[in-house]
Amino acid sequence: MKASFDTLQIVDDVEIPKGKWGKADYLEPITKDFPEFGKGGATQAITHKEIKVDKIEHLDLH
């Protein structure tokens, strides 16, 4: 699935998580710390605000 939304609604409440599930002393904007869960490479950020989604798409992976 892919969700689209206006990032301006959360611009004042976005942070990059620390690695190792928040326990590391470095930021991890691109996933890499746990290769046992997959190759990583996804971007990530945290917000504590509710997000109003504009569009949801089902992606055909085949």
**Which residue type occupies 61?**
L
Q: What angle do CA 45, 49, 51 make, to 5 degrees?
A: 85
Question: Which is nearest to 45 in space by CA: 9, 24, 18?
Answer: 18
Domain span at residue 16?
Answer: 1-61
What percentage of the chain carries pLDDT values higher than 90?
Answer: 92
For residue 18, pLDDT over 80 is answered with yes
Q: Bridge-partner residues for 11, per DSSP?
A: none
How many separate domains does the chain show? 1
* pTM for this prediction: 0.72
Mean pLDDT for 30-56 is 96
Mean pLDDT for 24-37 is 96
For residue 4, pLDDT over 90 is answered with yes
For residue 62, pLDDT over 90 is answered with no
18: helix, coil or strand? Answer: strand
Concatenated DSSP letters of 21-52: HHTSSSB-SB--S-GGG-----B--B--S---
